[in-house]
């Protein structure tokens, strides 16, 4: 039976959009570091009859009947997470990463309490206390930064922690290409009596694979999404470590109550099932090789970009992610590079860089990564090819200048997007991308 045959008959318009997106993913290079390709098995779980069930509460303690098999599914996910991350407690119900992080605040804080996190423009996450996030509105947020070399300023972290005595210190980010110094953060949190929370949304798969240090011995709580380097469905988990239970024996209960009934209603059982499948896949020996290959690919790509004259934040990477600093070509170049690469079949995202001279909407950097490329089976040789192609595109559009006037920007960008459709270099790169993707096929027809 053809994939999505029922949908094709019921809603051909939606079916057509999904097929076009499938073709886009198959014929392009997905390089946004927070994206990956799930296995067909994960997709089957996500599209299963579990979407029909309501399961408010937790296994053995539901508010609805008929949950005996749902309990098995959720316990599978819990036990697999506990084993992989070596933790005594795991909550697999958060709908996504931001709700998971907010649940930590609900469990530990009162409105107005002081919290600390890495500033967004220096690579941090919105939910670690950024001013436009609810976490920055409802709590007294103190933000730490990176140094001139792009590495976390651990001396500043210690100074701010001692001055402000935060209830929570976050370690983790959305745009940081180096290994997190969990042990140093742990010492600081212990010195001031703070809860240390590791948000490993980006690196959880690397942690499982042993390609990045684990936060488990050092922190009280771990939060993570499940769809980045973990290669699962869009979802999240909150885990409590033994150190967390030693600090507060009721911490696991507080986390569970913060999720339900504090923030959420019934869990998405099909999502829980998809997480369980992804965790099983991550327990296989092949996943260890996969995680290490992500980092090898990232480093190979970084070296190729540098050899082509591009500047990188921190001058390299320890993980799956690279940040290209485009300020040698001027400020606000991120949007031009993102759109031009998109036209050439390479998907990444514009991103702020530390001390960005431009605005977050028109930043001076781009963020890219290797998880999805590695899932397709690409290795270091392919990273060298891709690095050259990216460099070609950047050099082709580096002289475009963002107007200062906002109205002029709209007109200018519209003209730019029309021009790049006919750019011969971009057409050449697009052809090279399609040929490369053809050598590493994604989702053969027999698999979905």
**Residues forming a β-bridge with 237:** 224
Mean per-residue pLDDT for 90-118?
98
Q: What is the pTM of this model?
A: 0.97
Q: Tell me how far apart the alpha carbons of residues 168 and 152 are, in angstroms, rounded to a whole number.
A: 17
Per-residue confidence (pLDDT) for residue 235, from 0 to 100? 98
Q: Tell me how far apart the alpha carbons of residues 229 and 33 are, in angstroms, rounded to a whole number.
A: 8
Taking a C-beta distance cutoff of 8 angstroms, is the pair 204, 152 a contact? no
Per-residue confidence (pLDDT) for residue 345, from 0 to 100? 98
Contacts of 46 (CB under 8 A, 6+ apart): 38, 233, 270, 271, 273, 274
Q: Average pLDDT of the chain? A: 97
Q: Which fold has domain 287-447?
A: 3.90.1150
Exposed, middle or buried by CB within 10 Å (0-12, 13-18, 19+), for 97? buried
Q: Domain coordinates of the chain in residue numbers?
A: 46-282, 287-447
If you count them, how many residues does the chain have?
448
Contacts of 58 (CB under 8 A, 6+ apart): 74, 93, 256, 260
Q: If DSSP codes are grouped into helix, strand and coil, which group holds residue 142?
A: strand
User: For 265-353, where are the alpha helices, taking DSSP H only?
Assistant: 269-282, 285-307, 334-343
Q: Tell me how far apart the alpha carbons of residues 254 and 106 are, in angstroms, rounded to a whole number.
A: 9
Exposed, middle or buried by CB within 10 Å (0-12, 13-18, 19+), for 296? middle
pLDDT-derived band at 406, boundaries 50, 70, 90: confident
Pair type for strands 61-62 and 168-171: unpaired
Q: If DSSP codes are grouped into helix, strand and coil, which group holds residue 367?
A: strand
pLDDT digits (tens, 9 = 90+) for 59-75: 999 999 999 999 999 99
Contacts of 148 (CB under 8 A, 6+ apart): none
Q: Tell me how far apart the alpha carbons of residues 34 and 380 are, in angstroms, rounded to a whole number.
A: 20
Res. 1: pLDDT tops 70:
no
- Active-site residues, by number, are 54, 56, 199, 225, 228, 234
Contacts of 287 (CB under 8 A, 6+ apart): 205, 208, 209, 281
Pair type for strands 168-171 and 114-118: parallel
Per-residue confidence (pLDDT) for residue 417, from 0 to 100? 97
Mean per-residue pLDDT for 17-38?
97
Per-residue confidence (pLDDT) for residue 445, from 0 to 100? 72
pLDDT digits (tens, 9 = 90+) for 253-308: 999 999 999 999 999 999 999 999 999 999 999 999 999 999 999 999 999 999 99
Per-residue confidence (pLDDT) for residue 444, from 0 to 100? 79
Mean per-residue pLDDT for 363-388?
98
Per-residue confidence (pLDDT) for residue 218, from 0 to 100? 98
User: Residue 61 belongs to what H/E stretch?
Assistant: strand 61-62
pLDDT digits (tens, 9 = 90+) for 208-249: 999 999 999 999 999 999 999 999 999 999 999 999 999 999
Q: The domain at 46-282 falls in which architecture? A: 3-Layer(aba) Sandwich (3.40)
pLDDT digits (tens, 9 = 90+) for 186-200: 999 999 999 999 999
Q: Which long-range contacts (CB under 8 A, 24 or more apart) does 422-425 make?
A: 423/340, 423/343, 423/396, 425/392, 425/393, 425/396
Retrieve residue 392's tokens: 């070609």
Res. 407: pLDDT tops 90:
no
pLDDT-derived band at 409, boundaries 50, 70, 90: very high
pLDDT-derived band at 314, boundaries 50, 70, 90: very high
pLDDT-derived band at 447, boundaries 50, 70, 90: confident
Q: Tell me how far apart the alpha carbons of residues 121 and 374 are, in angstroms, rounded to a whole number.
A: 28
Taking a C-beta distance cutoff of 8 angstroms, is the pair 37, 378 a contact? no
pLDDT digits (tens, 9 = 90+) for 326-370: 999 999 999 999 999 999 999 999 999 999 999 989 999 999 999
């Amino acid at each position: 039976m053809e994939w999505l045959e029922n949908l094709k008959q019921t809603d051909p318009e939606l079916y057509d959009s999904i097929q076009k997106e499938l073709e886009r993913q198959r014929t392009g290079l997905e390089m946004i570091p927070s994206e990956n390709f799930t296995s067909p098995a994960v997709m089957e779980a996500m599209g299963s009859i579990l979407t029909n069930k309501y399961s408010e509460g937790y296994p053995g303690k539901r508010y609805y009947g008929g949950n005996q098999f749902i309990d098995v599914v959720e316990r599978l996910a819990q036990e697999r997470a506990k084993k992989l991350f070596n933790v005594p407690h795991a909550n697999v119900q958060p709908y996504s990463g931001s709700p998971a992080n907010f649940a930590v605040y609900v469990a530990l804080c009162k409105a107005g309490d002081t919290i600390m996190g890495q500033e967004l423009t220096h690579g941090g996450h919105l939910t670690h206390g950024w001013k436009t996030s609810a976490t920055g509105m409802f709590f007294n947020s103190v933000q730490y930064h990176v140094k001139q070399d792009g590495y976390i300023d651990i001396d500043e972290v210690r100074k701010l922690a001692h001055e402000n005595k935060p209830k929570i210190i976050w370690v983790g980010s959305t745009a940081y290409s180096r290994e997190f110094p969990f042990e140093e953060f742990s010492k600081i949190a212990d010195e001031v009596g703070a809860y240390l929370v590791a948000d490993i949304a980006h690196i959880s798969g690397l942690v499982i694979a042993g390609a990045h240090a684990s936060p488990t011995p050092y922190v009280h709580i771990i939060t993570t999404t499940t769809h980045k380097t973990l290669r699962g469905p869009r979802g999240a988990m909150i885990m409590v470590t033994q150190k967390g239970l030693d600090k507060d024996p009721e911490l696991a209960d507080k986390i569970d109550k913060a999720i339900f009934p504090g923030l959420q209603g019934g869990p998405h059982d099909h999502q829980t099932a998809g997480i369980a499948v992804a965790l099983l896949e991550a327990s296989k020996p092949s996943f260890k090789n996969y995680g290490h290959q992500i980092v090898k690919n990232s480093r190979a790509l970084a070296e190729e970009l540098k050899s082509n004259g591009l500047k990188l934040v921190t001058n390299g990477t320890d993980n799956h992610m690279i940040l290209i600093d485009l300020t040698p070509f001027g400020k606000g170049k991120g949007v031009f590079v993102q759109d031009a690469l998109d036209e050439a079949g390479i998907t990444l995202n514009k991103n702020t860089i530390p001390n960005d001279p431009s605005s977050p909407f028109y930043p001076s950097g781009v963020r890219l990564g290797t998880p999805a490329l590695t899932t397709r089976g690409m290795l270091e040789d392919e990273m060298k090819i891709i690095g050259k192609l990216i460099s070609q595109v950047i050099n082709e559009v580096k002289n475009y200048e963002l107007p200062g006037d906002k109205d002029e920007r709209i007109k200018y960008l519209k003209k730019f997007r029309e021009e790049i459709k006919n750019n011969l270099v971009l057409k050449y790169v697009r052809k090279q991308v399609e040929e490369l993707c053809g050598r590493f096929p994604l989702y053969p027809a027999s698999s979905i």
